[in-house]
Structure 1
Amino acid sequence: MKSILVVLDGLNFQVARDAMGYLQAQCAAGRGRLYQLECELPSLSRPLYECILTGVTPVLSGIVHNHVDRLSTGQSIFHYARDAGLTTAAAAYHWVSELYNRTPFDPARDRHTDDKSLAIQHGHFYYDDAYPDSHLFDDAESLRLKHHPDFLLIHPMNIDDAGHKFGLDSMQYRNKARVADGILSHYLGTWLDEGYQVIVTADHGMNNDRSHGGILAEERQVPMFVFGSAFSLQQAEPLQTELCGTVCQLLNVSHDKPHCADLLA
């Protein structure tokens, strides 16, 4: 089944639970469910992009901080899907391109990507943390409409950016979560009606020091909303390391990663 993975960078679980009224309405209507995940350590972005997309913890992947700017040595969802003859796409921060396509990131070459030999075959990549989430979701939808990818990653940054500027307990941070929820309200219904399986999660949370990276609950507890006919919507305790394998199960591609069977119907 075609699948969309939305990674809302830096979104803390409690803020997602309390501020994302549209996603919660979908859950209340029986079209989805919210689970709580605990992110792996360190609770930093690039290490956790790698964890989400390959199922490997940072200490094992070697991507242990944000400045490890090399290609991943692991097999990601993009690799499994491409190797199975499926189409992949991403609208994401440029670190994702550096992990799975080419590094270092060259904006003139890599910002807009169309190359079926790459792991991420079709991409729009940005490098400014303030790049508007509205534009990023539009970038993603343009990829979906043009290329009909089997797997699409959507990765906006404004929630994390607000957290670094104003902290967890700020109206700016909460309001960016509300904005993302509103943007998703424009797209999610169409995606579901067209048969997509959708996961909305985060890499890590945020603290009141305007940072993350440690073991505090507010840094590690992140949401995982699931929507679509392939999900059981039953009790489950998914791990962040199971996201890669779970998406591969949805895509029906061969893989060697752990997955959360309880999530699936």
Structure 2
Amino acid sequence: MTDTANKLIVVVLDGLRYDAARKYMGYMEHLVEQGHMSCCSVQSELPSLSRPLYEVLLTGTPVSKNGITANHIVRLSHEESVFHLAVAANLRTAAAAYHWVSELYSSAPFDPVADRHQHNVLKPIQHGSFYFEDHYPDSHVFADAEYLRTAYDPHFLYIHPMNIDDAGHRGGGESKEYELAVRRADGLLATLLPKWMEEGYTVIVTADHGMNANGCHGGVTPAERLVPLYMSGNNGLLPEAGAGTLPQLLLAPLMCHCLGLAPSKAMSTEGLPLFAGAKAP
């Protein structure tokens, strides 16, 4: 791998609660203990549903502006996402993700046959591997992502596994099945993160929303809204542990900062003093 300057990998572990991450992700917490990563809590936007929050994470805009108000809204995004901004700056992009991400930034509605693998340098997601079943193994998602990373050398790689969310819906956010899915995701990260970090990537690991004990999300409770934000080499960008919760609207401009891009005009700037004094990537 060459040219690792301003390269970013974002992992969105769908449905991962903040408290579950801090209790069960032993490898990620090891990196925090050793000072290789920082971790803070993030409060998701509302509604705490998947498709609306995919749009929040990648465009930095609230539902009231972007119009992706519920999971059943199937259309391309009308906003400038991090993918759009990266391609406009001649950076390479890739994603291994659930098909709803394709429907927001590549092709809608999703055709499982035609849209499973996508390669078009003119689209916001230039190289994509998209799955369409919630139980598609996380191990396969990470393998898809590694193929994209090594074959196409993207500056911005977005990885989005679904098994934690799937286990939560089936057994609840405090079930044995949910805990096991979190632990498995941690093991997968333990396999890949050392390589990514050695090759100079900035790595962000977060989630769209949490999961309550009844296997639901979409509401306002902490179990549904509080998610983790792990980040490598953050140069003081994140608040110190215990210093407060970051608004989810700041994640898109944070991604832009890591890629050396200016945020879009629509991206929220509230709270950006957190970045004051931080060194440019």
Please, what TM-score do these two structures have when normalized by structure 1?
Answer: 0.96
Q: Could you tell me which of 109, 114, 123 is aligned with 2:119? A: 114
2:92 is the counterpart of 1:90: no
2:186 is the counterpart of 1:181: yes
| 2:39 alignment partner, SS class | strand
> CA shift at 1:233, angstroms?
5.8
Q: Which moved more, 1:229-238 or 1:98-107?
A: 229-238
> CA shift at 1:208, angstroms?
1.4
| 1:209 alignment partner, SS class | coil
> CA shift at 1:238, angstroms?
2.6
Indicate conservation of the 8 Å contact 2:171/2:178, yes or no. Answer: yes
2:58 is the counterpart of 1:45: no
User: 1:11 maps to which residue?
Assistant: 16
C-alpha change, 1:234 and 1:203, in structure 2 (3 Å) is: closer
Q: Deviation string for 1:11-51 (max 9, x for gaps)? A: 01100010000000011111011100110000000000000
Q: Could you tell me how far apart the structure 2 residues matched to 1:159 and 1:68 are? A: 23
Matches within 5 A, 1:47-196: 47-196=52-201
Tell me the percent identity: 49
Q: Which moved more, 1:251-260 or 1:13-22?
A: 251-260
Indicate conservation of the 8 Å contact 2:40/2:238, yes or no. Answer: no
Q: Could you tell me which of 263, 274, 281 is aligned with 1:262? A: 274
> CA shift at 1:168, angstroms?
1.0
Q: Could you tell me how far apart the structure 1 residues matched to 2:193 and 2:65 are? A: 34
| 1:149 alignment partner, SS class | coil
Indicate conservation of the 8 Å contact 1:90/1:124, yes or no. Answer: yes
Residue correspondences, number: 265
Q: Could you tell me how far apart the structure 1 residues matched to 2:108 and 2:37 are? A: 37
User: 1:202 maps to which residue?
Assistant: 207
Q: Could you tell me how far apart the structure 2 residues matched to 1:70 and 1:261 are? A: 34
Q: Could you tell me how far apart the structure 1 residues matched to 2:58 and 2:238 are? A: 22
Q: Could you tell me which of 242, 247, 252 is aligned with 2:260? A: 252
Q: Could you tell me how far apart the structure 1 residues matched to 2:234 and 2:199 are? A: 11
Q: Could you tell me how far apart the structure 2 residues matched to 1:200 and 1:258 are? A: 20
2:252 is the counterpart of 1:238: no
Q: Deviation string for 1:68-121 (max 9, x for gaps)? A: 000100000000000100000000000000000110001222110110011000
> CA shift at 1:229, angstroms?
5.7
Indicate conservation of the 8 Å contact 1:69/1:103, yes or no. Answer: yes
Unaligned runs of 5+ in 1: none
Indicate conservation of the 8 Å contact 2:38/2:234, yes or no. Answer: no
> CA shift at 1:231, angstroms?
5.1
C-alpha change, 1:22 and 1:136, in structure 2 (3 Å) is: same
Q: Could you tell me how far apart the structure 2 residues matched to 1:215 and 1:60 are? A: 19
Indicate conservation of the 8 Å contact 1:22/1:181, yes or no. Answer: yes
> CA shift at 1:258, angstroms?
3.6
Q: Could you tell me how far apart the structure 1 residues matched to 2:208 and 2:49 are? A: 8
